[in-house]
Amino acid sequence: MQKKRSVVDYSRYGYFFSIPFIVTFLIFTLYPVLYTSIIGFTDMKGLGNTNIHFLTSDPFANFKEVLSSELFRLSLFNTFRIWIYNFIPQLGLALLLTAWFTDNRLQIKAKGFFKVIFYLPNIITMASIAILFRAFFGYPMGPANDLVTRIKGPGTEIKFLQDRDTTRNIVAFIQFWMWYGYTMVQLVSGVIGISPDIFEAAEIDGANRVQTFFFITIPNIRTILLFTLVTSLIGGLNMFDIPKLLMNGGPDNATITASLYIYNQAFSGSYKYNTAAAASMIMFVLIVICSAILFYIMRDKDEAALKKLRKAEKKAMKG
Amino acid sequence: MDKNKVSKSKQPLYLMIPLYIACVVLAILSIVPFWVMIVNATRSTTQIQQHAISFIPGGSIAKNFSILNAKKTFNPVIGFTNSAVISVGVTGLAVYFSSLTAYAITAYDWKLKNAFFSMIMAIMMIPAQVTTIGFYQAVYKVGMTNNRLMLILPAIASPMMVFFMRQYLQASLSMEIVQSGRIDGAGEFRIFNQIVLPIMKPAIATQAIFTFVSSWNSYFMPLVLLTKSEKYTMPIMVSLLNGDIYKTEYGCVYLGLTMTVLPLIIVYLFLSKYIVAGVALGGVKG
Amino acid sequence: MKKVIASALCLTMVGTAMFTGCASKQEEKVLNVWAFTNEVPDMIKRYKELHPEFDYEIKETIIATTEGAYQPALDSALAAGGADAPDIYCAEAAFVLKYTQGSAAQYAMPYADLGINVDSALKTAEIAQYTVDIGTRPSDGKLVALGYQATGGAFIYRRSVAQKAWGTDDPAVVADKIGSGSGNWTKFWQAAEDLKAVGCGIVSGDGDIWHAVENSSSTGWVVDGKLSISAEREDFLNISMKLMENGYHNDTQDWQDAWFADMKGEGPKDILGFFGPAWLINYTIGPNCGSKDEDGNLVGTFADGVGTWGDWAVCASPVGFFWGGTWVIANKDTKHKDAVKTIIEWITLDASENGLQYMWANGTLYGEGGTKDAVASGAVMKKSNGELDFLAGQNMFDAFVPAGEYATGKNLTEYDETINGYWRDQVRQYTSGAKSYEQAIEDFKAQVAENLDVTVE
């Protein structure tokens, strides 16, 4: 293999095949990204404001304002709090279901049906889901309170959506419920991509199902797992629709997420595009840092070692 | 043969019963909102206002249909066509070009490969809220609002899907197949189309479903970009049913929502066999 | 799968081919109308039907206000100008101030510049003053927007509950009992006590009173760029707590299931009434009173024991207020001044029997028997018939003409929607016992300071 590659150099195809992506990116994404990053250093606020200046005395004034904002810090806390409460059970359940559904020895009946059904919550629009959940936890009437009064008697209705932690948990639950099927489908597609021979070999070697899952399945879908973790982190830190649609960040700012904070800066009346842009840049940096940590933890240690070795080899050859 | 028989023997009940209970409970949780939505499509606005959630169908579906028919802004034929054009376009472009880009990153060694991949990852991490504003302003400045291509073409650069495809290829693509294709004299582009794409079937199926669903349901971008009623997508039409602040016809809205979701479910079920059965990887062996 | 991909790509190509067909063509007589519902565009189309000589093509752009998409789109369209810019655009009460007095007011063309004789038309039509106040641009004192609906609010109450408490359902007596027009809540609390004595509540939830409290304020939320919590609005904390502690209401939230149940008389206790404009009767209480079947046909009345239809009456509110409404604005860059003038005058200022408002008030715009609604022109309402079976034959205009005069449009700001949201959120925190009075105000101030470009002291 090594020999052949050195005869024909295929690397230019790497460039060719990337061209559509790059061109599209340059046309459609670059401008908005630059636009946002520049606004963060200006005094652009208000509607139809054409008199915009760069901040000369203190270029980072917007960033300082955001970082010193208590509400921004609360929104970060909310974001992480809701994400963790949603993601840990979500990944746990998705992994468990993946283990069940891909275990040839378990022979679950109707597993195709279940796999298909579990993704369904992701199909309905967020707006409808928010409406349904708000009605479900309605006060003093609503299915949840019907249950409460049936158990505890009349007059015991609970204001679910008035309590800060309850509302956070409801948001986390909605996220969990909407996305565990999605995560599972992705993990399963990763497992299907594993060559069946590997499982057969494990079976022949007498591995039990728990061993198979932890020592064969998980390592083999590590790349997909990394994808799941990173995209969920990004999605979680950008969480917007459900907190916005359910209680508009309330009660008492309990479900204001970072994205909602940014949105409010820009659109709740004063059009503070400058602080909104600064807050987005801060979020961007934060997401990059968190993702980098994930990449580091999940990195392929063997491959990394191999790479080092190769580099050393190359160096030696050159030398 | 013998081994197979052993492995497929009955599993202990203490394991299977909780497993089935869990699956059934989750399945119910997944179906309930659909049921409520469809039931609400058959109930009158007043019934819905007084009890938003009910499991018993009402008798107002004909009435809701006639209200819906009378709404000039709601034209399901146009809505379906627009949604379908956009969603199919987005899904096709995103799936194909993401696979191609991922293949470029995985299969070839080129100088800027790692830089390029890092860039893709970085793009993926940009918070969505504010880039959409910049995007809208750019489109508006060049006068391309109401052009569906503005909603479709950006799908060629779908960083998240490239990431997924790359992760998938890393685990399942063996360069030996590519090499054997080269030995057979196939060009690189043909190798990708005829050898690599089939290997990616399971990944493509899942990503196609996800992309189609999110594109079909996407609301904000189409809403601000498409202002002509003949360009409206289904979600925009449904949101207009909601529009009158003082008297929302909820029965009608749920009927509209149901009509929006049905084609999605059909497409999903059509593609779902790839999720269910999995696809044998064409000729890959260890 | 190959087939799927192939067909997907194929469809994409077909799709692409379809785009090439739509080159933009310039037409001479086109009016661009931007609105958040089809109400105004439909009116204009109706005008065309009634006046065939009006040969403009109407190009409507309707973007729902849900998820806040209407304003950004409208703002860019106004800023960009050109052939696709709106000639006529609509704004709802929640955000109209932005387009008449706030950051987007510069795009509006004064009605006078359209060639309308504003002063005399306002006088003849007796347009409700609050709609004029809201539509007047402070920078030059010129009128730039008016509505057609009057959304002045009254107290809409149940006759049977009034009977129970005071032995009469006469609007004049009930008005006296709740302190109509007194400008304060003193008598209202006595009435609440009377109702409590007979096991009833006075309102459904604190949200019902909020619109009245908000509008009774001496100042708006923002004065000279500073947050101002007027005594009246701050008192809402006490009002809300008082309602809660004394059980004067069913503790519902507006637009939630329990609130609608109270309209049917199916809440835990009967409540006397709701504060609201005429549209609340037409679109909310009427359909939800339990007397209509699921097709919207009346199947009985309160007298038959079916729902509460016919058990209602209207009287003036203790403090004046308005709730909602649509204002119509002309773009300063319109190329069709005459057509815009014709339309705007017909919708907002024509008090004759051929004007829109007369047909709107009598429910005859689209033929006989339509919904009757209160309109901005007092002159029109005085010559219209506002009798409703729902109100047991009472003429609703008797209450809504004064309600329109009584409301004020002078204590509003363009931030109201946002700030009201924060305020009511904190009030709920206070009444539920999660926060002290001071803490609620403190947190409210912090919220405003963080999100808006408003100084807070």
Task: Give per-residue pLDDT as tens, C31-52.
Answer: 999 998 888 998 999 999 999 9
pLDDT digit string, tens, across residues C411-441: 888 888 889 989 999 999 999 888 999 999 9
Tell me whether residue C1 is exposed, middle or buried, using C-beta atoms within 10 angstroms of its C-beta: 0 to 12, 13 to 18, 19 or more: middle
Question: B197 and B114, same structural domain?
Answer: yes
Q: In this structure, is residue B254 part of a structural domain?
A: no
Do residues B231 and B185 share a domain?
A: yes
Q: Which residues contact A178 (CB under 8 A, 6 or more apart)?
A: A121, A122, A129, A242
Helix or strand or coil: residue B11?
coil
DSSP letter for C353, please. Answer: T
Classify residue B94: in a domain, yes or no: yes
Helix locations, chain B, DSSP H: 2-7, 13-41, 45-50, 61-70, 76-107, 113-125, 128-141, 149-152, 159-172, 175-183, 188-191, 197-199, 201-217, 220-225, 234-241, 250-277
Put simply, the chain B residues between 46 and 85 with a CB less than 8 A from any chain A CB are 51-53
User: Do both B54 and B183 map to the same domain?
Assistant: no
Whether residue B244 lies within 8 A of chain C, CB to CB, comes out as yes
Q: Are residues B21 and B152 part of one domain? A: no
Pair B37, B160 in one domain: no
User: Which amino acid makes up residue B138?
Assistant: A
Closest residue in chain A to residue C262, using alpha carbons only:
A141
Q: What is the ipTM of this complex?
A: 0.83
Residue ranges and CATH numbers for the domains of chain C are: 30-150+324-385 (3.40.190.10), 154-319+391-415 (3.40.190)
pLDDT of residue B275: 62
pLDDT at C14 over 60: no
- Per-residue pLDDT band for C183 (boundaries 50, 70, 90) equals confident
Interstrand relation of C273-276 and C57-62 (parallel, antiparallel or unpaired): unpaired
Select from B61, B81, B97 the last residue of a domain. B61
Residue A53 lies in a domain: no
Positive or negative torsion for Cα B84, B89, B95, B98: negative
**Residue A293 sits in a domain of what CATH number?**
1.10.3720.10
Spatial neighbors of C228 by CB under 8 A, at least 6 apart, are C219, C220, C221, C222
Collect all residues of chain C within an 8 Å Cβ-Cβ radius of residue B147: 19, 22
Give the residue among A217, A99, A104, A111 at the shortest CA–CA distance from B11.
A104
Give the total residue count for chain C: 457
Q: Which residue has the higher pLDDT, C327 or B124?
A: C327
The tens digit of pLDDT for each residue in A227-272 reads 889 889 988 988 888 998 888 888 889 999 998 998 888 877 777 8
Evaluate whether residue B276 is within a structural domain. Answer: no
A4 located within any domain: no
Question: What total number of domains does chain A contain?
Answer: 1
Please answer yes or no on whether A159 and C415 come within 8 Å at the CB atom. Answer: no
What rounded mean pLDDT belongs to chain A? 85
**A315 to chain C, closest Cα gap in Å:** 44
Q: Are residues B88 and B41 part of one domain?
A: no
Q: Check CB contact under 8 Å for C104 and A48.
A: yes
B286: in domain:
no
Residue A278, number of CB atoms within 10 A of its CB: 28
Q: How many domains does chain B have?
A: 2
Asked, for residue B214, whether it belongs to a domain, the answer is yes
Q: Is A132 on the interface with B (CB under 8 A)?
A: yes
Cα of B81 to nearest chain A Cα, Å: 19
* Strand blocks (E) in chain B: none
Q: In terms of Cα–Cα distance, which of A267, B227, B244 is closest to C98?
A: A267
Q: Is residue B195 part of a domain?
A: yes
Is there a contact between C142 and C136 (Cβ–Cβ < 8 Å)? yes
Q: Can you give the three-state secondary structure of C39-65, one letter per residue?
A: HHHHHHHHHHHHCCCCCCEEEEEECCC
Cα of C368 vs its chain's centroid, Å: 24
Percent of chain A with pLDDT over 70: 93
Residue A141 lies in a domain: yes
Instruction: Check if C67 contacts B (Cβ < 8 Å).
Output: yes
Is there a domain that residue A140 lies in? yes
Q: What is the mean pLDDT of chain C?
A: 87
**Do the domain assignments include residue B28?**
yes
- C-alpha span between C167 and C189 (Å, rounded): 18
In a domain, A124, yes or no: yes
Shared domain check, B180 and B49: no
**Digits of tens for pLDDT over chain B (286 positions)?**
344 444 445 677 777 888 899 999 999 998 888 888 889 889 887 787 777 778 888 888 888 888 888 776 788 899 999 999 999 999 999 999 999 999 999 999 888 888 999 888 888 888 776 677 678 778 877 878 788 999 999 999 999 999 989 988 887 788 888 888 888 888 899 999 999 998 888 888 888 988 998 999 887 788 778 877 788 888 888 877 765 556 667 788 889 888 888 888 888 887 777 666 554 333 333 3
Which pLDDT score is estimated for A55? 86
| Residue A169 clears pLDDT 50, i.e. is over it | yes
Among A284, A44, C217, which Cα is nearest to B131's?
A: A284
Contact C426, C441 (CB under 8 A): yes
3-state secondary structure (DSSP) of residue A257: coil
- Domain interval for residue B161: 72-241
Complete DSSP assignment for B102-119: HHHHHH---TTHHHHHHH
Q: Do B56 and B106 have their domain in common?
A: no
Q: Does C258 touch chain A (CB under 8 A)?
A: yes
B167 found inside a domain: yes
B44 and B76 together in one domain: no
The 10 Å Cβ neighbour count of residue A226 is 20
In a domain, A56, yes or no: no
Query: CA A309 to CA A302: how far, in whole Å?
Result: 10
Q: What is the pLDDT of residues A3-27, one digit of tens each?
A: 444 456 788 888 999 999 999 998 8
Does one domain contain both B22 and B93? no
- Return the pLDDT at C2: 40
Query: Which of B168, B158, B153, B154 has the alpha carbon at shortest distance from B204?
Result: B168
Q: Regarding predicted confidence, which is higher, C201 or C70? A: C201
How far apart CA B98 and CA A18 sit, in angstroms, is: 9
Residues C24 and C20: their CA atoms lie apart, in Å, by 11
Given a cut of 50, whether residue C166 has pLDDT beyond it is yes
| Pair (B56, B76) in one structural domain | no
Q: How far is B42 from chain C (nearest CA, A)?
A: 10
Question: Average of pLDDT values for C367-392?
Answer: 89
Alpha-carbon span C295 to C314, nearest angstrom:
26
Distance from CA of A38 to the nearest CA of B (A): 11
Same domain, B110 and B170: yes
Q: Which residue has the higher pLDDT, C233 or B240?
A: C233
Domain with A131, as residue range(s), is: 72-318
pTM for the predicted model, two decimal places: 0.84
Share of chain C above pLDDT 90, in %: 57
Confidence band, pLDDT 50/70/90 cuts, at residue C310: very high
Q: For position C418, what pLDDT does the model report?
A: 86
Which of A68, A161, A252 should be substituted to probe chain C, the one whose Cβ sees the most C Cβ atoms within 10 Å? A252
Please give the pLDDT value at position C344.
95
Closest partner residue to A32 among B109, B131, B188, by Cβ? B131
Is the model's pLDDT at C54 over the cut of 80? Answer: yes
Work out how many CB contacts closer than 8 A connect A with C. 88
pLDDT at position A92 over 90: yes
DSSP class of residue C180? T
